[in-house]
């Protein structure tokens, strides 16, 4: 029962954390996307201004796929690559965006890459070339792809999973520690009767064999207490029914045989003892 309760608690916590993580991820992804679009438009505006263009429009920034965005312009433009590198890196830094990304300037006509560069938080992995050569005036789109982006929502999602692991770990550690403590207490408890390899605890209605508990019903426990008090001796049916049933004002029919059968199954874990039926007389607990 305790194990089932712990499993239910763990599942409920897992579902709650998953629902929370999904909601947070969705919101954070949307916020990240909007932040990228604002930063890109700011960079595009600086590129246009460096091109002495303060009137043409920057088209809406489009998210092509996860972590990839495209910015397009109303008019043709020409720029020096260094100006684009500076504008993008500066505005991404201000917006606290990931510092590992690739930028490609795509020609509208044939889709060829007119210029590209790659930034990385490791300086030796950053690739920026030809900053002084001016890109001829034409129609371009600018694509930005974040590489291994360490965005805020990923950080929160990681934290959520860490919390989940910790909570589950605490539940399972507590469960196993409690079970271990119960087994240790059972082994150290001297208030038992030895029945073969079993420790019989009549007050707790249980058998214990090698730290494995076998629960007993009240009637099974009462019957076993009688047999344990007289090992290897025949106990008459009349004595069993009188002590277990009739003294409690209960009339018994086939109940004795039913409970003897249940008790025999629980004792079969130990082949050194045997609950034998003495036909017409009663039963005997044979202990080797």
Q: Determine the pLDDT at residue 3.
A: 59
Same domain for 229 and 148, yes or no, is no
Cα separation of 105 and 84, whole Å? 10
Let me know if residue 181 belongs to a domain.
no
Query: What confidence tens digit (pLDDT) does each residue in 214-242 have?
Result: 889 988 999 999 998 889 999 999 898 88
Residue 92 has pLDDT above 90, yes or no: yes
pLDDT value of residue 232: 92
Structural domain of residue 209, as residue ranges? Answer: 190-287
Q: Tell me the pLDDT band of 251, cut-offs 50, 70 and 90.
A: low
Structure tokens at 5: 């309760």
Residue with the two structure tokens 């700011």: 42
Q: Total structural domains in the chain?
A: 2
Give the pLDDT confidence score for residue 144 in this predicted structure: 96
116 lies in a domain? Answer: yes
Name the β-bridge partners of 193.
Answer: 200
Q: What are 133's two structure tokens?
A: 């050569």
Q: How confident is the model over 136-158, as a mean pLDDT?
A: 74
Task: Give the phi and the psi of residue 266 in degrees, each rounded to 5.
Answer: -75, -25
Helical axes 81-94 vs 2-50, angle rounded to 10°: 140
- 108 shares a domain with 222: no
219/133 same-domain check? no
Do both 137 and 207 map to the same domain? no
Residues 26 and 99 in one domain: yes
- Interatomic CA distance for residues 236 and 192, integer angstroms: 24
CA 117 to CA 119: how far, in whole Å?
Answer: 7
Write the secondary structure of 90-105 as one string of H (helix), E (strand) and C (coil). HHHHHCCCCCCEEEEE
Per the model's pLDDT, the better-predicted residue between 120 and 108 turns out to be 108
User: Do 78 and 134 form a contact (C-beta atoms < 8 A)?
Assistant: yes
Contact between residue 270 and residue 209 where contact means Cβ atoms under 8 Å apart? yes
Residue 161: its H or E element: helix 152-188
User: Do 19 and 147 reside in the same domain of the chain?
Assistant: yes
pLDDT of 149 over the 60 cut: no
Whether 62 contacts 69, CB under 8 Å = yes
What percent of the chain has a predicted confidence (pLDDT) above 70? 77
Q: Is residue 175 part of a domain?
A: no
Specify which of 18-27, 157-166, 180-189, 200-209 reaches the highest per-range mean pLDDT.
Answer: 200-209
- Residue 107, both tokens: 């020609």
Under the banding of pLDDT at 50, 70 and 90, the label for residue 105 is very high
118 and 212 inside one domain: no
Could you tell me the CATH number of the domain that includes residue 266? 1.10.10.10
> Does the structure show a pLDDT above 60 at 50?
yes
CA distance linking residue 39 with residue 68, whole number of Å: 14
Q: What is the DSSP letter of 55?
A: S
pLDDT surpassing 80 at residue 12 = no
Question: With contact defined as beta carbons under 8 Å apart, do 183 and 211 qualify?
Answer: yes
* Mean pLDDT, rounded, of the chain: 81
Q: What is the mean pLDDT of residues 3-13?
A: 66
Residue 271 is predicted with a pLDDT of 84
pLDDT at 141 over 50: yes
Q: 9-23, 107-121, 202-216 — which one is most confidently predicted on average?
A: 107-121
Cβ atoms of residues 163 and 18 within 8 Å: no
Q: Is the pLDDT of residue 22 over 90?
A: no
For CA atoms 233, 238, 239, 240, give the dihedral sign: positive
Q: What is the CA radius of gyration of the chain?
A: 39
pLDDT range class, residue 152, cuts 50, 70, 90:
very low
The predicted structure's pLDDT at residue 253: 62
Q: Which two tokens stand for residue 141?
A: 């789109």
């Amino acid at each position: 029962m305790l194990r089932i309760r712990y499993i239910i608690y763990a599942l409920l916590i897992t579902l709650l954390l998953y629902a929370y993580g999904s909601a947070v991820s969705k919101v954070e992804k949307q916020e990240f996307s909007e932040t990228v679009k604002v930063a890109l438009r700011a960079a595009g505006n600086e590129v246009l201004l460096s091109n002495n263009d303060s009137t043409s429009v920057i088209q809406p920034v489009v998210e092509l796929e996860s972590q990839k965005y495209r910015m397009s312009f109303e008019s043709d433009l020409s720029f020096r690559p260094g100006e684009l590198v500076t504008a993008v890196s500066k505005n991404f830094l201000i917006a606290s965006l990931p510092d590992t990304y690739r930028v490609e300037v795509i020609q509208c006509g044939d889709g060829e890459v007119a210029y590209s560069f790659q930034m990385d938080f490791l300086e030796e992995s950053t690739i920026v070339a030809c900053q002084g050569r001016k890109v001829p005036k034409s129609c371009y789109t600018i694509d930005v792809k974040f590489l291994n982006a360490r965005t805020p929502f990923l950080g929160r999602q990681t934290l959520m999973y860490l919390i989940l692991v910790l909570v589950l770990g605490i539940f399972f550690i507590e469960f196993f520690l409690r079970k271990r403590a119960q087994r240790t207490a059972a082994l150290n408890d001297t208030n038992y009767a030895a029945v073969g390899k079993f420790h019989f605890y009549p007050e707790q209605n249980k058998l214990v064999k090698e730290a494995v508990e076998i629960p007993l019903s009240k009637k099974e426990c009462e019957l076993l207490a009688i047999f344990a008090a007289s090992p290897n001796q025949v106990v008459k049916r009349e004595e069993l029914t009188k002590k277990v049933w009739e003294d409690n004002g209960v009339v018994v029919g086939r109940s004795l045989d039913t409970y003897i059968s249940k008790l025999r199954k629980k004792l079969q874990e130990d082949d050194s003892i045997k609950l034998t039926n003495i036909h017409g007389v009663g039963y005997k607990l044979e202990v080797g």
